[in-house]
Copies of this chain bind each other. A is one copy, B any other.
Amino acid sequence: MAKGPTVYHVAERAGVSIATVSFTFRQPDKVKASTRELVLAAAEELGYVPSASARGLARGRTGALGLFAYDYLLDPADGIRGEGQDPLHPAEADLERRNEDLRLFPLYVDEVQRGVELECWRRGQALLVGGGNPENNEAVLSDIAGRVDGLAVFPRSVPSEALARIARRIPVVEVSENVHNRELDHVTVDNISGVRAITEHLISAHGLSDLMFLGGMPSSDNEERLEGFLGALQDAGLPTTREPKYPCGSEQSLTEVVSDICRQGSLPEAFVCATDQDALVVMDALAAVGVGIPKDVAVTGFDGIAAGRVIKPSLTTVRQPMEQMGRTMVELLLDRLDHPDKPPVARRLPVRVVLRESCGCQPG
């Protein structure tokens, strides 16, 4: 564990200058084959491993990208936060729950992260994943920012001032919710036509006409989804008498909304939900009061998380190409490095309706 060998050691051993050693690794064809072998052999014997810090410093580029996977488990917005957690291990209680509850794993973020990982590896980029306790997000973010050439972040994971500050230094790309910072590159999906398509399916394939849109929290994504919903109703000449419900924030209140509706006997023919998570909550609420899906009411989601495939009845939804979104983030980052002055890009990816049982379709 003694301090490792450096270019100097290798150079000495091979009887060349340190420049030649460096060239051997970075621009092999600038070095005569015989010399190269010599250097390589010396390096091998010494167990030489180039220091990325030194290289990064010299080159002004680290060769790594960063992903800030904020600790979504703790995000109050998704309603799975537990109470009274050990502040030192904030994530553990949730993680355990997550391990026990298939619904929670893998989530949207996990699949996007997977895409980021794969694309980085494919392109020979190192990937730094950082997460944080909500308390010190900024410090962590800044630390990561100092280590990478570009940063991929999830929306609302970090105050936008902090993000703006980072963005002055390195490219930043945000996934979805392209509303917060129009100066950044964004990867989003076609929310509008996704929901429009699934709504049309409910109308034309299942002959439904009394539909209601339900969403857990306000966001630009959800607004677009609502827009798609309303568009489909209009196109079909249906009235938009039901006002869409956005119980802001917690599952609790979404559950309440649903049970209120049931109690009043004003059940629509279908609930079009803004996310799969919302849909799962709605399905639970319906099950709790004995309403049958899709017999009494159809339910659809948006995202395509794994849980939707397992649940009974399986969830009809709009699947986001999450892996592809992750890959695209990497692509935009690398692009931006080459063209710093290009205007901000917002890449919008297509989605796919996945018909399953909860809308009344047969599986398989």
Q: Is A114 an interface residue (CB 8 A)?
A: yes
Instruction: Give chain B residues whose Cβ lies under 8 Å from the Cβ of A130.
Output: 121, 126-127
Q: Is A102 an interface residue (CB 8 A)?
A: yes
Of B111, B124, B309, the residue contacting A102 (CB under 8 A) is: B309
Given contacts A47-B165, A105-B106, A128-B64, contact A95 B118 (CB under 8 A): yes
Instruction: Give chain B residues whose Cβ lies under 8 Å from the Cβ of A310.
Output: 102, 310
A344 to chain B, nearest CB (A): 13
Instruction: Give chain B residues whose Cβ lies under 8 Å from the Cβ of A51.
Output: 56-57, 146
Q: Is A4 an interface residue (CB 8 A)?
A: yes
Instruction: Give chain B residues whose Cβ lies under 8 Å from the Cβ of A102.
Output: 306, 309-310
Q: Which residue of B lies closest to A89 (CB)?
A: B122
B140 contacts A121, CB within 8 Å? Answer: yes
Proximity string of chain A (319-358) to chain B, C-beta cutoff 8 Å, 1 when within and 0 when not:
0000100000000000000001100000000000000000
Instruction: Give chain B residues whose Cβ lies under 8 Å from the Cβ of A64.
Output: 128, 147
Q: Which residue of B lies closest to A164 (CB)?
A: B47
Q: Is A19 an interface residue (CB 8 A)?
A: no
A60 contacts B341, CB within 8 Å? Answer: no
The copy count of this chain in the complex is 2
Q: Which residue of B lies closest to A3 (CB)?
A: B60
A131-175, CB < 8 A from B? 131-133, 140, 142-147, 165-166, 168-171
Given contacts A47-B169, A88-B122, A323-B99, contact A129 B146 (CB under 8 A): no
B129 contacts A4, CB within 8 Å? Answer: no
A121 contacts B131, CB within 8 Å? Answer: yes
Given contacts A130-B121, A132-B121, A309-B102, contact A340 B52 (CB under 8 A): no
Of B4, B50, B53, the residue contacting A62 (CB under 8 A) is: B53
Interface size counted on chain A using CB atoms at 8 A: 63
B143 contacts A71, CB within 8 Å? Answer: no
Proximity string of chain A (294-334) to chain B, C-beta cutoff 8 Å, 1 when within and 0 when not:
00000000000010011000000000000100000000000
B57 contacts A341, CB within 8 Å? Answer: no
B117 contacts A340, CB within 8 Å? Answer: no
Q: Is A288 an interface residue (CB 8 A)?
A: no
Instruction: Give chain B residues whose Cβ lies under 8 Å from the Cβ of A132.
Output: 121
A225 to chain B, nearest CB (A): 22
Of B50, B128, B142, B340, the residue contacting A49 (CB under 8 A) is: B142
A133 contacts B121, CB within 8 Å? Answer: yes
Instruction: Give chain B residues whose Cβ lies under 8 Å from the Cβ of A56.
Output: 51-53, 56
25 contacts between A and B (CB under 8 A): A1-B170, A1-B340, A1-B341, A47-B165, A47-B168, A49-B142, A51-B56, A51-B57, A52-B56, A52-B143, A52-B147, A53-B53, A53-B56, A53-B57, A53-B147, A54-B57, A64-B147, A69-B117, A88-B122, A99-B323, A102-B310, A105-B106, A117-B131, A121-B132, A128-B129
Which residues of A are at the interface with B, using a C-beta cutoff of 8 A? Answer: 1, 3-4, 47, 49-57, 60, 62-64, 69, 71, 88-89, 91-92, 95, 99, 102, 105-106, 110-111, 114, 117-118, 121-122, 124, 126-133, 140, 142-147, 165-166, 168-171, 306, 309-310, 323, 340-341
Given A1-B341, A53-B56, A102-B310, 13 other A-B residues pairs in contact with their CB atoms under 8 A: A51-B56, A52-B56, A52-B62, A71-B121, A89-B122, A102-B306, A105-B306, A106-B106, A117-B129, A118-B131, A121-B132, A126-B144, A127-B128
